[in-house]
Amino acid sequence: MANETIRCECGHENKEGTVLCEACGKPIEKNQHIDGNDQQNVLEMRYEGGARRSQTYKRTFVDKIWAFFSSVKVGVWLIVMTLIFSALGTIYPQEQFKNSPLPSSVFYEEEYGLTGKIFYQLGFHNMYDSWWYIILVALIGVSIIISSIDRYVPLRRALKNQKTKKNEVFVKRQRVVSFDNELSENDLNTLKTNLKKQRYKVHEENGHIFAEKNRFSRWGPYVNHIGLIIILIASIFRMFEVMHIDDYVWVREGEVQAIPGTGQEYFVENNEFIYEVYDPETEERFTRALEDVENPVPKNFQTNATIYRATNDPVLGEKPELERVTEGEIRLNQPVIFDGYSLYQSGTQVESEYNSISMELQVNDESLGGFTFDTDEAPSEFNLEESDTTITIDNWYPELEFTDEGPSSFSKYPRNPGIIFTVSSPDLDEDERFFYLQEEVIPLADNNQANVSVSDVDRRSASGLTVKKDNTLPLFGLGAGIFMIGVLQGLYWYHRRIWIHPKDGSYHIGVHTNKNWYGMNQELDKIRKGTNVKPFVDQQEMK
């Protein structure tokens, strides 16, 4: 229809699609089906009977999209779907936390079987960064924004345009009513006083009385949505490294590692890793409790770390020039904080690697001397001057494993070192080969003369540190704060209105509250007190 407005009998021009006249509240006849008012006596007061645009114009493509996102039903579906997917993504660890050298295509199936394979094939192993998950969350945002615009605008219009004098039909079809009251001048004055006492704003026009309070409660949901949108914006900011970093790095004792996420600007050195357990001997108050546990109870995981900053911009692979930034002891929940970054203690491989292995050589109970194999820096040859003995390292397997092709190493970390070495000495008839394995030295020849034993091993720990930086937290806080204000505003205050409508010498009274009808009835008893107003009737309960 081309005409833009509908003229009510009170003279107000309403937008097309209006259900109840904005000014006098009279139902606009041909639109009653929209809110289902043609089916029931009590009027549907949703959005004040204003014209929800999306429900009215569905002509162009844009209008159809608009109508789709404006729908609460669609919004709820989007939220439910996001909830379900978010939950599914937590069944198995996400790819970045799988903590395994295996590629994802193998890892999930091997570790979790068929369900793991499905998890991987559906792409759930990388869910929260996946394009479809982002789209899902974004659609919720779109839904929130469009449905808010689509409801706020007409609601505001309707509440702004309402008149003190309402149509009789509107008043009589409210949920809580009191009809045909014989009220004296005194009664009316008492009513007004009582209303004001209950903090109503009382308006009068030609004997019609309209009392209203707490209209701002109606804006609660929209304030709440603004909060949500700020939270969504904050989560977009999280995608940028400038704003947010959450990463992980392993640092071995004595090692300097680039801190991930800092673009190789910051480096961390693990000076010492400290692992302490509760001691039943020295801490008597725990003695009794510790009797019941088999394994030692950890007391402290601590990394003594030094933080460095690169003073130059090295090419990939080049050793940067470092300057010390800070030093600190990182304990559980006690991070080292520097330049907006925090390093948290969050993983350990206690004494999992060999730092060095010392061995002694003997021939016929006579010592040829000893040497220390430093796993990271050992030379390929050791000379024992006292006996003119040379030890040549033939093979070095940091993490020994036996494969079809013979001995091999699983990684470069000396977790299970294997050393094959040759000893040549004037005291020996010929060179002899040995195999160091699991703190034992095995001769590789049958008739060896020399005897090699392990005299000492030095182990080291690896410390897992979480790198965090989050500049989005204040924005999340702001969003959450606004969200809470919206919730409070909408939940703890009620928008209440009372219309007193004179008709042929008596008065009809209609009452509306947006929630808490029980409280409304109690308030009405106080308002009615000392007047001739008949008890109010809930027309909905009567049915």
Partner 1 sequence: MNKKKKRLIFRSVVLTLLVGTLVFVLIVNANSERPDLEKGVEAPNFKLDRLDKSGETIELKELRGQGVMVNFWATYCEPCKKEMPYMDQLYQDYKDQGIEIVAVSVDRNESVINNFYNSLDLSFPSTIDRQETVMDVYEVTNLPASFFINPDGTIERIVRGPVTLESLEGYFQEILPEKS
Contact positions vs partner 1 (CB under 8 A): 4, 53, 57, 60, 62-63, 65-66, 101, 103, 129, 131, 134-135, 138, 141-142, 145-146, 149, 236, 239-240, 258, 264, 314-319, 375-380, 393, 395-399, 403, 405-406, 408-409, 412
- Across 231-291, the runs of DSSP E, i.e. the strands, are 244-252, 256-258, 266-277
Burial (0-12, 13-18, 19+ Cβ within 10 Å), 522: exposed
**Nearest approach, Cβ of residue 246 and partner 1 (Å):** 12
Smaller CB distance to partner 1: residue 184 or 380? 380
- Closest approach, Cβ 145 to partner 1, in A, equals 7
10 Å CB burial of residue 182 (0-12, 13-18, 19+) is exposed
Placement of tokens 């911009």 in the chain? 313
Q: Which lies closer to partner 1 via its Cβ, residue 345 or residue 375? A: 375
- If the CB atoms of residues 138 and 445 are measured against partner 1, the closer one turns out to be 138
Q: Is 402 or 492 the residue whose CB approaches partner 1 more closely?
A: 402
CA gap 24, 9 in Å, rounded: 9
Smallest gap from residue 149 Cβ to partner 1 (A): 7
CB of 338 to partner 1, least distance (A): 20
For residues 56 and 17, the answer to whether their CB atoms sit within 8 Å is: yes
Smallest gap from residue 263 Cβ to partner 1 (A): 11
| Beta carbon nearer to partner 1, 101 or 505 | 101
Residue with smaller CB distance to partner 1, 7 or 412:
412
Element (H, E) at 196: helix 185-197
Decide whether 106 or 350 has the Cβ nearer to partner 1: 106
User: Least CB distance from residue 129 to partner 1, whole Å?
Assistant: 6
> CA torsion sign, 182 to 188 to 190 to 196?
positive
Among candidate residues 462, 212, 470, 505, the one with its CA nearest the CA of residue 342: 470
Residue 217 vs 375, nearer CB to partner 1: 375
The DSSP output letter for 418 is E
Distance CA 356, CA 459 (A): 7
Percent of the chain as helix, strand, coil, to the nearest 5: 35, 35, 30
Between 74 and 146, CB nearer to partner 1: 146
- Rg of the Cα atoms in the chain: 40
Retrieve residue 394's tokens.
């033939």
- The least CB distance from residue 395 to partner 1, in Å, is 8
- Min dist. Cβ of residue 464 to partner 1 (A): 16
Q: In terms of CB distance, is 292 or 405 closer to partner 1? A: 405
- Reading the block at residue 542, the tokens are 């009567």
**Cα three-residue angle 519-42-163, rounded to 5 degrees:** 80
Which tokens belong to 30? 């041909």
- 57 contacts: CB under 8 Å, gap ≥ 6: 17, 63
| In the complex, least distance from residue 93 CB atom to partner 1, rounded to whole angstroms | 18
| Cα 411 to Cα 294: distance, rounded to the nearest angstrom | 32
Least distance (Å) between residue 379 CB and partner 1: 5
The whole-angstrom separation of Cα 10 and Cα 259 is: 73
Q: How far is the CB of 134 from partner 1 (least distance, A)?
A: 6
Provide the β-strand partners of residue 27: 20
Compare residues 252 and 497 and give the one whose CB is closer to partner 1: 252
Task: Give min distance, CB of 315 to partner 1, in A.
Answer: 4
For residue 416, the 8-state DSSP code is B
Cβ-contact 68, 61 below 8 angstroms: no
Q: Which is nearer to partner 1, 42 or 134 (CB)?
A: 134
Shortest separation between residue 189's beta carbon and partner 1, angstroms: 45
By beta-carbon proximity to partner 1, the closer residue of 179 and 237 is: 237
Q: Which residues contact 434 (CB under 8 A, 6 or more apart)?
A: 420, 421, 422, 423, 441, 442, 443, 444, 448, 450, 452
> What does the H/E/C string look like for 101-168?
CCCHHHHHHHHHHHHHHHHHHCCHHHHHHCHHHHHHHHHHHHHHHHHHHHHHHHHHHHHHHCCCCCCH
